């Protein structure tokens, strides 16, 4: 039986086919501008989970919260530039697991493929969970949360159906407007509510450093760090997005624009909402607002909840789809009956698993920490540093300068160490927290 060639074994000139169907399909999948790439990355990276950052600041304290947010933002932007450089050097790469295959062989490809798919499914699940919270706030908890979860999953399924990231970017503009409006209204509402309290803003209790006993708070502080790290988790989607980029070298503009926007936005949101709400800020800071403002802000945030989530389900379905249909398959560009049927099936399967995960792990910070510790730490920090030492350190022109070469090497060692800490210690702390929550009835799966 003749096997289809994989994308990594084809030369660039062999990736083009003379048949009209494939030529037209390839044209559709090669239209993305760097501006749309930036918007897609914003849509992937920035969702309503950003409003969990004030709780992380409340755990770490204002100083460590700001410091951690800025440092992780710089590290995540740098490692994203490394991943993008790898994609430009090896244009036949179509996904993050392809990079893993270059680093670790076929076994690495399989492991990272499972990790990436798991991260994307859990990310979709976190949006199902956020959708449940939003609908509960809007309806004053008048309907069974399981029904809200099913409705959230169905909306994510519908919004994940567009065939290309170029088309998904149209929804991403709406997503960007939604999260911006929701954040601005949330900050203004929090400031007004705090000013009206007895004693005003001066009565709000907040700390510069972690409050309480440092030893007893180690688990909570580590989970807070994982929550901040997750806010910068997008690099696992970058190679997939760049595969549709019209000028691949323009990825730098997109990554730098996103990195700058993230650092400024996250620092302002985390610090201001913590300052206004203090140590009593909720896991999802919107829940710290009065019921009326919760309805307003969640209403504004509905687009970002489901559009950002659909980017994750779309990426997961696309990866599996491309694995099923080889690069020279007639079904590759989802323009045949079999292609459409498989596309619908994969999107439905991803959202179904995401719904189940949201029902099993209903604690928002724990859900975010689990994703960050098990997956994002590797994708955002550990793996890119390995790429640097294996492929870039001895080949890049910028590494000809000895000082630049060794200073960048030291930076990568530090980033690798942080990623390893997040993976081993972070996952242990999240696991301990999850067991503790179930043991003491703190986290109970959603039901009626």
pTM given for the model:
0.83
Superfamily (CATH) of domain 26-359: Hydantoin permease (1.10.4160.10)
Helix axes 96-139, 62-89, angle to 10 degrees: 140
Can you tell me whether residue 245 is helix, strand or coil? Answer: strand
| Closest C-alpha among 116, 115, 134, 113 to residue 47 | 134
pLDDT at 13: 39
Q: What are the residue ranges of helices labelled H in 140-160? A: 145-159
Residues 346, 338: Cα–Cα separation, whole Å: 12
Place of tokens 């975010």: 368
C-alpha angle 172/343/35, rounded to 5°?
25
Model confidence pLDDT, tens digit, residues 390-433: 988 876 666 667 777 788 899 999 999 999 999 999 888 888 87
Model confidence pLDDT, tens digit, residues 218-235: 888 888 898 898 889 889
Residue 362 has pLDDT above 90, yes or no: no
Model confidence pLDDT, tens digit, residues 244-277: 888 888 899 999 999 999 999 999 999 999 999 8
Rg (CA), the chain: 22
Contact indicator for 240, 94 with CB cutoff of 8 Å:
yes
What single string gives the DSSP state of each residue in 369-424? HHHIIIIIHIIIIIHHHHHIIIIITTT-GGGGSHHHHHHHHHHHHHHHHHHHHIII
Q: What are the residue ranges of helices labelled H in 325-401? A: 337-360, 364-371, 377, 383-387
């Amino acid at each position: 039986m003749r096997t289809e060639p994989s994308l990594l074994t084809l030369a660039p000139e062999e990736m083009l086919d003379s048949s009209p169907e494939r030529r037209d399909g390839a044209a559709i999948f090669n239209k993305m501008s760097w501006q749309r790439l930036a918007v897609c990355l914003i849509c992937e990276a920035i969702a309503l989970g950003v409003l969990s950052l004030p709780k992380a600041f409340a755990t770490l304290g204002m100083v460590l919260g700001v410091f951690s947010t800025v440092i992780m933002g710089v590290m995540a932007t740098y490692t994203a530039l490394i991943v993008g450089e790898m994609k430009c050097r090896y244009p036949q790469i179509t996904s993050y697991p392809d990079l893993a295959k270059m680093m670790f062989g076929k076994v690495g490809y399989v492991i990272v493929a499972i990790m990436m798919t798991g991260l994307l499914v859990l990310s979709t699940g976190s949006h199902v969970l956020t959708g449940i919270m939003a609908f509960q706030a809007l309806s004053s908890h008048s309907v069974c949360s399981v029904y809200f979860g099913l409705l959230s999953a169905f909306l994510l399924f519908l919004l994940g159906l567009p065939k290309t990231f170029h088309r998904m970017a149209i929804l991403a503009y709406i997503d960007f407007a939604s999260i911006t409006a929701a954040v601005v209204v949330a900050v203004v509402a929090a400031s007004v509510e705090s000013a009206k309290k007895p004693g005003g803003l001066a009565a709000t209790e907040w700390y510069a450093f972690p409050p309480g006993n440092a030893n007893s708070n180690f688990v909570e502080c580590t989970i807070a760090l994982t929550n901040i790290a997750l806010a910068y988790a997008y690099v696992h989607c970058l190679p997939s997005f760049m595969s549709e980029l019209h000028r691949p070298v323009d990825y730098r503009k997109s990554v730098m624009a996103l990195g700058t926007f993230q650092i400024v936005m996250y620092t302002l949101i985390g610090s201001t909402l913590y300052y206004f709400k203090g140590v009593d800020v909720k896991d999802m800071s919107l829940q710290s607002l009065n019921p009326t403002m919760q309805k307003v802000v969640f209403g504004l945030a509905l687009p970002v909840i489901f559009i950002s989530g659909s980017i994750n389900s779309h990426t997961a379905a696309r990866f599996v789809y491309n694995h099923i249909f080889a690069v020279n398959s007639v079904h590759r560009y989802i323009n045949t009956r079999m292609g459409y049927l498989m596309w619908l099936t994969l999107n439905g399967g991803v959202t179904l698993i995401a719904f189940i995960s949201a029902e099993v792990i209903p604690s928002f910070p724990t859900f975010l920490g689990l994703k960050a510790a098990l997956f994002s730490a590797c994708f955002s920090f550990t793996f890119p540093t390995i790429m640097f030492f294996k492929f870039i350190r001895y080949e890049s022109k910028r590494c000809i300068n000895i000082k630049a070469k060794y200073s960048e090497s030291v930076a990568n060692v530090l980033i690798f160490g942080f990623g390893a800490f997040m993976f081993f210690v972070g996952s242990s702390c999240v696991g301990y927290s999850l067991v503790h929550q179930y043991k003491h009835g703190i986290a109970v799966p959603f039901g009626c």
